[in-house]
Every structure is written in C-alpha cells, then in structure tokens.
Amino acid sequence: AGPAMAHGAGRCRCCGEEAAGAERGAAWGLYLRIDRQRLQCLNERREGSGALVFRAWEERGDRAQFVESDDDEELLFNIPFTGSVKLKGVLVMGEDDGTHPAEMRLFRNIPHMSFDDTAREPEQTFSLNRDPLGELEYPTKIARFSNVHHLSIHFPKNFGAETTKIFYIGLKGEWTEAHRHEVTICNYEASANPADHRLQQITPQTHFIS
C-alpha cells in the first residue's frame, strides 16, 4: 500500500496552473443546467442576445457575444433551471466604462418576472465593481439560495451610460436532478374518499306526485 500512496501524492505535485484553471472553470458550470428554451432577458436590444452571456467560463473573454439593454439601462434575466440549484456565487463581466452594471439584485423562484415585479424585496443585492476581465466573484447567502428552480437577476443601473452591456454572467453552485415524488403524493390526495360515496347513496330521492 505504501508505494501506491506515494505515487498518488506524487501525481498531485504535477498539477500546475492549468489544472487549477480547469477546476475553476468547472465550478462555473451551472450554465449547462439552464433550461434555455424558457430563458428570458427583458429589455435586450437584440432578441436572443441575453442567452449568449451564459456560457463556459473559459469563453468569457469572447467579446463578440454580449447583451445590451434597449430602452434604458435596466436588464432583467429570468433563468429557469432543469433541476434544483444551490447557488453559491455570481460573476458579472462588462466593459471598463459606464455601460458596466453597477448593481445586481437576485430573486429566487419567481417565474416570468417583469420589471413591475422588481419593486419587491430581492433575496440579495450586490453593489458591483467594473470587472472587464471576469475576475470578481460575488458570493451569495447560500441559505437563501439552497433550493433554486428559477433565478431572476435584475440590473437596475450602470455606471452612468444610457445603456448597459454585459459580456458574461457566471453562475457557481451545485445542481440536483428534479425529484418526481410530488406526483405520487398528489395521486393519493386525488383518490376518491369512500365517505363521499356513502353520502351520495343515503341521499333520499324525492318523488314528485303529479
């Protein structure tokens, strides 16, 4: 057993920065768990562009893929997941100028949010710094984001430009497959109660004498 253990320890020393980079990239893999058919970005200038910012961490530097707001500086993303997510961190990358979002508000499990809905209290709010290289991670209060099926991200303002521009949004956390136990419970509740039938049988029938 001795030599095998020594070999195992030796292997780890070979791992350089490349492995650390790959590991960091894997941590931002929640974009693979987004239900892209139902993903929405409100106030995007180009239809479908909001979905482009959710991609591999290694591809965050691709400046050809971005979303820009349309009428004003606000953007709102509705992000449904294909299971249950424990969200641990968010990363937002933009330009090093006024178009970079300055604030981020997170809401959980409110599908199809509109800008009217953003008046309610978010689960967590972050003041953002300009992050042109995608290096700043904003950790969430995990207790509030431990069972997320749907995440909404609202960017209410930027650093002074007329529109907001985002190149990449990273989502870090754990994903669990959706359970189907609920269905069974519903079936039991829906099954007929024998007491209901008994009542129907006792109900006297009234005969009208013509």
- Give the other-Cβ count within 10 Å of 54's Cβ: 22
Whether the CB-CB separation of 172 and 27 falls below 8 Å is answered with: yes
Q: For position 116, what pLDDT does the model report?
A: 97
Grade residue 30 by pLDDT with cuts at 50, 70 and 90.
very high
Whether the CB-CB separation of 164 and 155 falls below 8 Å is answered with: yes
CA 142 to CA 56: how far, in whole Å? 22
- Give the other-Cβ count within 10 Å of 9's Cβ: 8
Query: Where do the structural domains in the chain lie, given as residue ranges?
Result: 24-176
Please state the pTM of the whole predicted model.
Answer: 0.77
- Domain 24-176 matching CATH 2.60.120.470: the answer reads yes
H/E stretch holding 67:
strand 67-68
Q: What are the pLDDT digits (tens) for 94-150? A: 999 999 999 999 999 999 999 999 999 999 999 999 999 999 999 999 999 999 999
